[in-house]
Amino acid sequence: MGGGSLGRGVALSDRALSRFEFRRWARNVDLFCAGTAWSHCWFYYRIDCCFAQSREHGFGGFARAQGIALGIALGLAAIVSGVLYLAADHPPELDGKPLALEFELKIPPALKLPAQPSVETLHASLYANNRYALLDYDKIASRDGYVFVPGKTSLLSQSFNRDLLVSIESEGGASQFIKLKLRAKPRKEDEAWSDWMTATERADLTPVPESERIAVRYRVQPEL
């Protein structure tokens, strides 16, 4: 049962990832195509000019034409690479340091956890990072019927669309999305704990009953 739930969770996670990442991927492809098309046009234009000069001035003109063509090609390649680098997504930094997202899950009494939760039965992923978060199972605590689980993950993307996907395999389909209201480029004030935010939909995009909604609070900290 656990393996089947995990398989469904992976499939649903892939579907959710495509929804969040497609627009950014398409933007980068457009930039790459536009940049390479422009560089190719100029490159071949200059090659024609250079060979025209070589026919007029013999071997010396040919060598000079080759040098000019090579310089143009390298220059255009550097420009296109620079444009693509600036347009690409990069991990956010604060005071020149990479950032991690620290968070605390608040699981309601309606969702039953195993006596000893583990990565096979309780796990979380951060989108648009598309990577598992690290949960500290040794520091799980219970208060007022709720279960509190601390966790941490690196911030690898500058995106406004950050969601935390929390999965409880023993509940069979209890994976829930929680929208994080975190800036694409976090600021100093984001080092303070946020308010509690609750899930509103499952991984299959169906609504979560209010009594079963998982909550999370979070803050950014320098990556150690």
Supply the pLDDT for residue 42: 53
For residue 7, what pLDDT band results from cuts at 50, 70 and 90? very low
Q: What DSSP element (H or E) covers 89?
A: none
Distance CA 159, CA 142 (A): 33
Q: Residue 196 pLDDT > 60, yes or no?
A: yes
Q: Strand 141-143 vs strand 162-168: parallel, antiparallel, or unpaired?
A: unpaired
Q: Residue 91 pLDDT > 80, yes or no?
A: no
Q: Residue 101 pLDDT > 90, yes or no?
A: yes
**Which residues on adjacent β-strands are paired with residue 186?**
none
Distance CA 212, CA 202 (A): 11
Helix (H, G, I), strand (E, B) or coil at 138: helix
Q: How many CB atoms lie within 10 A of CB 76?
A: 19
| 34-67: b (≥16 Cβ within 10 Å) or e | ebeeebeeeeeebbeebeeebeeeeeebeeebee
Higher per-residue pLDDT: 14 or 56? 56
Mean of the pLDDT values across residues 137-151? Answer: 95
CA-closest candidate to residue 176, choices 134, 101, 125: 125
- Residue 94: alpha-carbon gap to chain centroid: 17
Higher per-residue pLDDT: 100 or 52? 100
- Residue 189 near residue 26, CB atoms below 8 Å: no
Mean of the pLDDT values across residues 9-25? Answer: 43
Distance CA 176, CA 169 (A): 11
Higher per-residue pLDDT: 203 or 36? 203
Q: Residue 185 pLDDT > 80, yes or no?
A: yes
Higher per-residue pLDDT: 224 or 133? 133
Helix (H, G, I), strand (E, B) or coil at 91: coil
Q: Residue 121 pLDDT > 80, yes or no?
A: yes
Mean model confidence pLDDT for the chain: 75
Dump pLDDT digits (tens) for 25-76: 444 444 444 445 555 555 555 555 555 555 555 656 656 666 766 777 676 6
Mean of the pLDDT values across residues 211-219? Answer: 96
Distance CA 199, CA 164 (A): 9
